Amino acid sequence: MTKSQSLETLNPFMMMRSLRDATLETWSKTAIDAVNTDLFAQWLGAYMNTSLAASAPIQRVLDQYMQAVLPRLNMPSRDEVTGVARRLTNIEMRLDDLDGRIDDILQAVRTEPAAPVVAEQSIAPVVDARLQAIEARLDTLLTAIQSISMVTPTQAAETPKRPARRSNRKPATPAEE
């Protein structure tokens, strides 16, 4: 044992503290057992009932007195204030509902135009390229038909002349018409 330890052992305050802690621990266990009994539950219930029975007449008299006095002072009663508070809560609820609906609408408005823009950006060049390819093929076919009609003029005279197709994006000029 070191000197400081021996000093602590001799310290009367430390000894008192140890004794106190041991006593408290014992009391604590006893108290925990005591409150976990039917007898304590019965006492607690009886104590509460007595307190309520004692305070009820006082509270009733006080309520009656306030109900008589407050209107004379042009002041609202507790029930009236409570009623107003409830109505305020209901209004708040409705406002919150409206807020929720506005959120839903805004969400829908924000998402709706986004889809076509994305579609146009991604699909338009592809469609345009395919249309141009089709036009090129039609031009090739037309050239081929014209060359055939030059070989057989009688058949070509019977076939109506079809104008060359152009891309929708380029408006036809009067000269082309």
Partner 1 sequence: MSNTPTTSADVIRQFYTELERIGRVTENSTRIVNGTLRAQVAQTPKQTIWSLNKASLYHYYPQVPAEKRHRVPILLVFALINRPYIFDLRPGNSFVEYMLNQGHDVYLLDWGSPGPEDADMTFEDYALDYLPRAIRVLQRHSGSREFSFVGWCIGALLTTIYAAMRPNNGLRNMVTLTAPLDFSHKQEMGPFPRWLQAEYFNIDALLDQTGNMPGALIDVGSKLLKPVENYLGNNLRLLDNLDDPKIIEAWQAMNTWVTDDVPFAGAAYRQLIVEFYRENRLMAGKLRMQGEIVDVGKIKANLLNIIAEQDHIVPPCQSRGFLEQTSSADKRELRLKGGHIGIMAGSGARRQCWPQIDVWLAERSKR
Binding site for partner 1 (CB under 8 A): 3-4, 7, 17, 20, 24, 27-28, 31-32, 35-38, 40-42, 44-46, 48-49, 52, 55-56, 59, 78, 82-83, 85-86, 89, 92-93, 96, 100, 103
DSSP states of 49-82 as a string? HHHHHHHHHHHHHHHHHHHHHHHHTT---HHHHH
Taking the complex as a whole, the smallest distance from the CB of residue 45 to partner 1 amounts, in Å, to 3
E strand spans, the chain: none
Taking the complex as a whole, the smallest distance from the CB of residue 88 to partner 1 amounts, in Å, to 8
> Among residues 32 and 114, whose Cβ is nearest to partner 1?
32
Taking the complex as a whole, the smallest distance from the CB of residue 101 to partner 1 amounts, in Å, to 11
> Among residues 90 and 140, whose Cβ is nearest to partner 1?
90
Interatomic CA distance for residues 155 and 148, integer angstroms: 9
Taking the complex as a whole, the smallest distance from the CB of residue 121 to partner 1 amounts, in Å, to 24
Do residues 164 and 142 touch, judged by C-beta distance below 8 A?
A: yes
Provide the 10 A C-beta neighbour count for residue 102. 10
Give the Å distances, CA to CA, from 40 to 26, 35, 44, 49, 82: 19, 6, 6, 14, 37
> Among residues 27 and 133, whose Cβ is nearest to partner 1?
27
> Among residues 81 and 123, whose Cβ is nearest to partner 1?
81
> Among residues 60 and 165, whose Cβ is nearest to partner 1?
60
